[in-house]
Amino acid sequence: MAKKTLQYIEPIGARVLVLKDEPKRETKGGIALPDAAEIPTITGRIVTISRQVAHDEDVPLRQYDKILFHPKNAIPVDFEPDNQLFVVPVDDVVAVFRAEKPEND
C-alpha cells in the first residue's frame, strides 16, 4: 500500500497557517551574526486561514498577509524537512503589515 503524502493543511477554529520568515543573519549595518546570535523572527506570511476566520468580519486577516505574531502558542507543523510552517491562534496575531492605511468606516 502506497504511503499518502499530505498536500494541504486547513487550520480549524480561530487559527491561521503561517510561513515564518527566515531569521535575520545580519544587522542593518551589514554585520554578519553567528547562528547562536540570530535575531528572533516573529513575522511571516499567512498561507491558509480557517473557515471561521474567513467568515469573521471582525478579523481583518486574509491569505498572503504579512503578520507579526506572538510565538508562544504557535504550533510547528512537521510537514516537510526544514519547513517554517506554524499554526497560530488568531489571538496571537498582533499586527498586519499593509501597503497603505485602510479607510475608516
Helix or strand holding residue 88 (H, E): strand 85-89
Q: 65 is written with which cell numbers?
A: 498577509
pLDDT in tens, 47-69: 999 999 999 999 999 999 999 99
CA distance 14 to 48: 12
Instruction: Give domain status of residue 88, yes or no.
Output: yes
- Nearest-angstrom CA–CA distance, 66 and 105: 23
Q: What contacts 65, CB < 8 A, 6 or more positions away?
A: 45, 46, 96, 97
Given a cut of 60, is residue 1 above it in pLDDT?
no
* Residue 9 resides in a domain: no
**The residue to which cell 479607510 is assigned:** 103
What CATH number does residue 51 fall under?
Answer: 2.30.33
pTM over 0.85: no
Task: Please give the pLDDT value at position 2.
Answer: 60
Q: How confident is the model at residue 78 (pLDDT cuts 50, 70, 90)?
A: confident
Q: What is the pLDDT of residue 71?
A: 87
What is the total count of domains within the chain? 1
Per-residue pLDDT at 21 exceeds 70: yes
